[in-house]
Amino acid sequence: MAESDLVGELEAFLECHQPELVEFRRDLHAHPEIGYAEHRTTRRIAGRLQAAGLRPAVLPKGTGLLCDIGGSGDDAPAVALRADIDALPIVDEKNVPYRSLNVGACHACGHDVHTSILLGTGLFLARSAAAGALPGKVRLIFQPAEEVPGGALDVLAAGGISSVDRIFALHCDPRLEVGKIGTRIGPITAACDKVKVQLSGPGGHTARPHLTADLVFALGKVITELPAALSRRIDPRSALSLVWGRVSSGSASNAIPDSGVVEGTLRCLDDSAWHAAPDLLKDLVESVATGYGVTADLTYERSVPPAVNEAVSTQMIAAAVDRVLGPEAITPAPQSLGGEDFAWYLESIPGSLLRLGTREPGSVEEFDIHQPMFDVDEQCIAVGVKVMAATALTAIGGNHQADSIIADASAADAADRVGPVQLLRPSAGGVTLAGPLLTGCSPVA
């Protein structure tokens, strides 16, 4: 498909479908569903895809779905596009017609926008496939439970990226104006794990600390020394951060307690440091506990790895943005220490996460994600459809730039490329990537 043809066809498609996509987004915003409860959302997506002649398959747990477009041959290049569909368990405080009707749930992270963009992208690509203009296969992944998290692991367990070469996703960014796209090669979001240290030992009177294990003092050492020691044992370029959020011990000022607990999060931008963190933290906790005669129990709960954007995939996004929006639309995306479970896909195949500007141009409003007042300029939906459709076509060879992008990026990408790695098993259980496509998924009735 020629560049002029793509731009014109996207404009014509959006002229007809942009009002529908905006209305679809507002419907989802008014009916938000939290992780693993996205039943209505799944039905709405599936129904619209079916109306376009597609065959979505619902994931085994009953929410979220996968849908393939084109790609009749086994050797056809394949890419996946992912959107998360769940809402947050917070109250929507906006005074808008599409305010949440589900008390205590709100699309305050933009997942309703992500979903509407992927739906629009799928409808456009389905039309291209019907016209014989789709040179490969595109898999739509409407993922549940990103905020829980766990939904990405369910997609992987169902074979959701089997036979897929690359994967792409976007995330709303209210710091960027509509029409701007943020990209970054390398880590863009951080690993985010939960850490809990429980200390126990013989308590007693504060007048005789030498006859006890001075547990509160030992707990203070854990709180202060662990972050300090980690900063000296891990390469500082890893941006590893251990921050405590809760501490509890004792009930009287003159009694040394026999137990105490401190909890926090460990965040990290470097994949190798993330893999090494649990064992290192265990050694450090034990060294403090031994020095003060207390018993330590460390609970380390994996959440998500760092999301590491692969260079070739990121350059494909940049080429697609240049193609449909112009080079002035691209801007560097800052790193974030927030977690994003799109990282689980990037542990296994190359891909990239982009930032979508959602702020009204010229606005002085400061909307951040995960806030009760969060909202977007809905013109961003059309921008997202253009970028995601162009990225998919670039990645599967629908653009003469694809081969040159891969060739030009190969040398620069050697250090950053995500190769096949063993997927870490979080505490909730692991997944197996091998197996038939769409394992356990069921066609929509």
pLDDT (tens digit, 9 = 90+) per residue, 119-151? 999 999 999 999 999 999 999 999 999 998 889
Same domain, 35 and 177: yes
Do 166 and 73 fall within a single domain?
A: yes
The pTM is what? 0.88
Do 124 and 55 lie in one domain? The reply is yes
**What is the C-alpha to C-alpha distance for residues 442 and 445, in angstroms, rounded to an integer?**
9
Instruction: Confirm if 357 and 383 have CB atoms less than 8 A apart.
Output: yes
Same domain, yes or no, for 355 and 282? no
CA–CA distance, 72 with 269 (Å, rounded to integer): 39
Q: What pLDDT score does 363 carry? A: 87
- Judge contact between 262 and 246, C-beta under 8 A: yes
Query: What is d(CA 41, CA 64) in angstroms, rounded to the nearest whole number?
Result: 8
Residues 116 and 7 in one domain: yes
Domain shared by 84 and 127, yes or no: yes
CA distance 247 to 198: 10
Picking from 288, 304, 320, the residue at the C-terminal end of a domain is: 304
CB 264 within 8 A of CB 192: no
- Residues 404, 397: contact at Cβ < 8 Å? no
Task: Report mean pLDDT in 10-residue bins for the chain, 445 residues.
Answer: 83 98 98 98 98 98 97 82 98 97 97 98 97 94 94 97 97 97 97 96 93 93 95 89 96 96 96 93 94 95 95 98 98 94 97 97 84 96 98 82 59 44 35 38 63
Residue at which a domain ends, from 287, 304, 321: 304
3-state secondary structure of 164: coil
| 123 within 8 A of 17, measured Cβ to Cβ | yes
Number of domains in the chain: 2
Answer with the one of 304, 338, 363 that is the final residue of a domain.
304
Count Cα neighbours of 149 within 13 Å in the Cβ-side half-sphere.
23
168 and 23, same domain (yes or no):
yes
Q: What is the CATH number of the domain that holds 38?
A: 3.40.630.10
Instruction: Write down the number of H helices and E strands in the chain.
Output: 10, 17
DSSP letter (8 states) at residue 87:
B
Same domain, 328 and 246: no
For the purposes of burial, counting CB atoms within 10 Å of the CB of 358, is it exposed (0-12), middle (13-18) or buried (19 or more)?
buried
Is 351 in the same domain as 298? no
pLDDT value of position 423? 34
The pair phi, psi for residue 117, each rounded to 5°, is: -65, -45
- Looking at the structure, tell me whether residues 268 and 158 fall in a common domain: no
Among candidate residues 386, 378, 379, the one with its CA nearest the CA of residue 326 = 386
Task: Say how far apart CA 3 and CA 400 lie, in whole Å.
Answer: 10
One domain, residues 261 and 167: no
- Taking alpha carbons only, the member of 267, 290, 277 closest to residue 221 is 290
Q: What is the CATH number of the domain that holds 283?
A: 3.30.70.360
Q: Give strand pairing partners of 359.
A: 177
pLDDT tens-digit series, residues 5-47 = 999 999 999 999 999 999 999 999 999 999 999 999 999 999 9
Do 288 and 334 reside in the same domain of the chain? no
Instruction: Provide the residue range defining the domain that includes 290.
Output: 191-304
